[in-house]
Structure 1
Amino acid sequence: MNRMFSVMSPPHSQATTKTTQPKSTPAGSSRPDIGTLTALRFIAALWVVLFHLQALRQTFLAPVYDLFGPVIANGDLGVDVFFVLSGFIITYTYLDRLGPQFRWRAAGDFVWARFARMWPAFALVVGVLGLWFVYGTAQENASTWSLQTQTPDLSPWGLAKQLLMVHLWFQPTTDGASWFGPGWTVSAEWLAYLAFPLLALPLFRLRTLHPLAAMAASIVVLLPTAAWGPDLPVDSGAQPFHWLLRIACCFTSGAFACLATRNADRLKLNPALAGRGAVLLGTAVVIFLALAGKPGPGRLAVLAFPLLIALLSLARGRLNAALSARWLQFGGRSSYSLYLVHMFFIYLFYWINRDWPAGAAPLMTNLLAAACLLEIAFGTWVMFKFVEEPARKRLRSMVPRPVYAS
């Protein structure tokens, strides 16, 4: 259960009606949000949640898994969607502020903004899981209780690594890095954020790149991680530091996809055609994954993600209206909270269902599955409304924002 996205939590975004040549960002301004990509965040989050909910596939959810089984089995690719999307959104939002020249004040403001977004909710989850481990390891060993093949580090140093979001940096594989399986992506994303002020410097100098060249670069840079997938066997049984290749390739790919959309007006692309192209490409990815199965060549689908994100960011008309639905927008904005809380309730389902008397299993398993889904939805709402957003705003208000020259 340890492979998962991070979301990752880029700024909530919704795209401008027209993509233009880059201009400097005025002081205090922020880029307009891209609603289609906010919705994509929610769709990707649901894909990953369904991937982890395979523990419930023998419940009333069985028809869903029977119908979409091969696609859901590839749900770990939702991690890659978020990594590419994160590179796109961070570049879209911050390139003009960080790209012209390196400034410690601007870089510090960027890092603090990302910390304020990621850390409070993650720290709360780590605290709750710490209590979970105190209870669980009195009955089971830490590896069994965490449902991971590698035992997480539960020492004081292990806690410090979790709270500093550097827990993945000290080991070559993701399994056992986090106190909850998918938490490894938070550490990978944090590393990408720390590197972005330096990455922005060459990206800014490539800002006038022809959109076709930029899009080609966004796909080519994904080839290493598409060909060298985490499921491919190697002598050691696991591919060391594939996580680093994965975040580096996907995040950079998203950045190049953003450069392509910045200059998309040079292609005179009809926004309605962009929407249709996004629908066709998304459908093709689903069909490909359904045919590829798991294990299989499904990881090659990652090559379509930057183009899909670019097309969605440019889409207008019916697709834009459909993806602007309030429930999709809220789902996208709260996707990081969903990502953080869902595994805890899956853990609860697994352990309660395992220890329940066998005679009551069929009915009780379905009731527990329904409770698990409701708890995930409610837990996401509570985390977003009362932890993630208020803490982000409070932390951001603690540090005055720098003034940028226009």
Structure 2
Amino acid sequence: MDTNKNTATLLQTKQHFEILDGLRGVAALAVVTFHFMEWVYTDASKNFIGHGFLAVDFFFCLSGFVIGYAYDDRIAKMGILKFFTARIIRLHPLVVAGSVLGLLAFLFDPFGGHPELYSTGKIMLTFFCSIFLIPLPVIADRSFNLFSFNAPAWSLFWEYGANVVYAFVLYRINKGLLMLLTILSAIAICFVAYRSGNLLGGWSGPTFWDGCARISYSFSVGLLIYRSNWIIKNKLGFTGLTILLLLAFIMPISKWNWLSEPLVVLFYFPLLIALGAGAILSSGFKKICIFSGKISYPLYMTHYAVLWMFGNYYTSHKPGTIQLTFIVITGLILLVGVAYLVMVIYDIPLRKYLSDKWNQRLAKQKTGNV
């Protein structure tokens, strides 16, 4: 019996995994909130969402599942070039948008920053590298992020890497070999957590290879969930699964992070993906989940320019608790609004334009060959 074929047939009966889309949006809000709070709580143990950074590992796991679902049964026919083109059109417009916003925030931050300390050439080189996802951790005022003008782009760098490995290796191998690679990646995750004391790395030069371990395991296990049909039918719904996902992010910071964080990444997130794929979505939450899924990537890729300004404001003005609460809540709402505008005015039209141009080119090539 061909398990992969049966799995594909089963999953194709469902047009979309709306609850997983909704959870992606919840994770995006969690990581944005975490980025606000890490400025406020220099002592991470006091941060109520101190594990919000694990949302990235959830993204990676979900990405493996979705890529398998979307491309396993057609990448051979469509070809690697078309696959890469589709992924670039899907992902890269917001990489550019986030870089532009980050550059503007760096140059015109009203609350601080020192762009005058850097030569025009260095700033332009950093911007160029940010647009093309070339790691260059050289700006001290940006904490030596891999991508100084758009810090979250570090995860997109590894996302692209996972897509390359998928196209050339992962889609070709059987489930047994995929399982072996997943186990080896799990060992790497445990090593990173034990050595560093946590799984926070990947965004900076010194922790660069931590990001490789994080994407390797989570993407592989997400793909394995799809191919193994580890779909758990349940009635938790969007609300129940949202609560379960948030529990991972509000998990207390402790001296046991080196153990608790790998447990969440290795077992808990894959379980949530399996539950999310099998959960029943009530009609009342459908629009919320669809919107949540659509806004998640624009929000993730455009929010950090504001975070640097917030950090400089907080450091220089030290607002009180009530004022700070108002600023953070208002900031979250405004960032969602900005992400929506970027999505509607820029991202969706540009992706449509690029897709149409690419399809026209393919049609001409096909006509010419005939």
Secondary structure, counterpart of 2:303 in structure 1 = helix
Alpha-carbon distance in 1 for matches of 2:321, 2:270: 43
Equivalent residue number for residue 177 of structure 1: 146
Alpha-carbon distance in 2 for matches of 1:382, 1:158: 26
2:211 pairs with 1:249: no
Equivalent residue number for residue 272 of structure 1: 234
Give the AA of the match of 1:351. N
Alpha-carbon distance in 2 for matches of 1:325, 1:281: 14
Q: CA deviation at 1:110?
A: 1.3
Give the AA of the match of 1:186. L
Which one of 98, 107, 114 corresponds to residue 75 of structure 2?
98
Alpha-carbon distance in 2 for matches of 1:169, 1:346: 18
Would the alpha carbon gap of residues 225 and 302 (structure 1) be closer, same or farther in structure 2, given more than 3 Å must change? same
Residue-by-residue CA offset, 1:303-328 (whole Å, 9 max, x unaligned): 12223212321x243xx227943123
2:275 pairs with 1:302: no
Which structure 2 residues correspond to residues 4-403 of structure 1 after superposition, within 5 A? 20-22=6-8, 32-55=15-38, 69=48, 72-99=49-76, 106-136=79-109, 140-141=113-114, 154-167=122-135, 175-178=144-147, 179-203=149-173, 206=174, 218=182, 221-229=185-193, 231-232=196-197, 238-239=206-207, 241-261=209-229, 271-272=233-234, 283=244, 286=247, 290=251, 293=254, 296=257, 297-300=259-262, 301-304=264-267, 305-313=269-277, 315-317=278-280, 320-321=281-282, 324-356=285-317, 364-400=323-359
Q: What is the TM-score when the length of structure 2 is the normalising length? A: 0.74
Q: CA deviation at 1:302?
A: 0.4
Contact kept in structure 2, 1:35 and 1:323, CA below 8 Å? no
Would the alpha carbon gap of residues 154 and 176 (structure 1) be closer, same or farther in structure 2, given more than 3 Å must change? farther
Residue-by-residue CA offset, 1:119-175 (whole Å, 9 max, x unaligned): 112212212222322335996446999xxxxxxx944333222111232799xxx95
Give the AA of the match of 1:20. N
Would the alpha carbon gap of residues 375 and 299 (structure 1) be closer, same or farther in structure 2, given more than 3 Å must change? same
Alpha-carbon distance in 1 for matches of 2:103, 2:212: 26
Identical columns (%): 21
Alpha-carbon distance in 2 for matches of 1:361, 1:144: 31
Alpha-carbon distance in 1 for matches of 2:100, 2:151: 15
Would the alpha carbon gap of residues 224 and 279 (structure 1) be closer, same or farther in structure 2, given more than 3 Å must change? farther
Secondary structure, counterpart of 2:359 in structure 1 = coil
Alpha-carbon distance in 2 for matches of 1:247, 1:220: 13
Contact kept in structure 1, 2:51 and 2:253, CA below 8 Å? no
Name whichever of 302-311 and 290-299 sits farther off: 290-299
Alpha-carbon distance in 1 for matches of 2:232, 2:130: 46
Report the structure, 1 or 2, having the larger helix content.
2
Q: CA deviation at 1:82?
A: 0.5
Secondary structure, counterpart of 1:36 in structure 2 = helix
**Structure 2, unaligned runs of 5 or more:** 364-370
Alpha-carbon distance in 2 for matches of 1:168, 1:251: 24
Q: What is the TM-score when the length of structure 1 is the normalising length? A: 0.69
Contact kept in structure 1, 2:27 and 2:55, CA below 8 Å? yes
**Structure 1, unaligned runs of 5 or more:** 1-18, 59-64, 146-152
Contact kept in structure 1, 2:62 and 2:273, CA below 8 Å? yes
Aligned residues: 337
Alpha-carbon distance in 2 for matches of 1:129, 1:285: 28
Would the alpha carbon gap of residues 353 and 241 (structure 1) be closer, same or farther in structure 2, given more than 3 Å must change? closer
Give the AA of the match of 1:371. T
Alpha-carbon distance in 2 for matches of 1:216, 1:292: 31
Contact kept in structure 1, 2:55 and 2:249, CA below 8 Å? no
Alpha-carbon distance in 1 for matches of 2:253, 2:124: 43
Q: CA deviation at 1:257?
A: 1.2
Give the AA of the match of 1:222. A
Q: CA deviation at 1:88?
A: 0.9
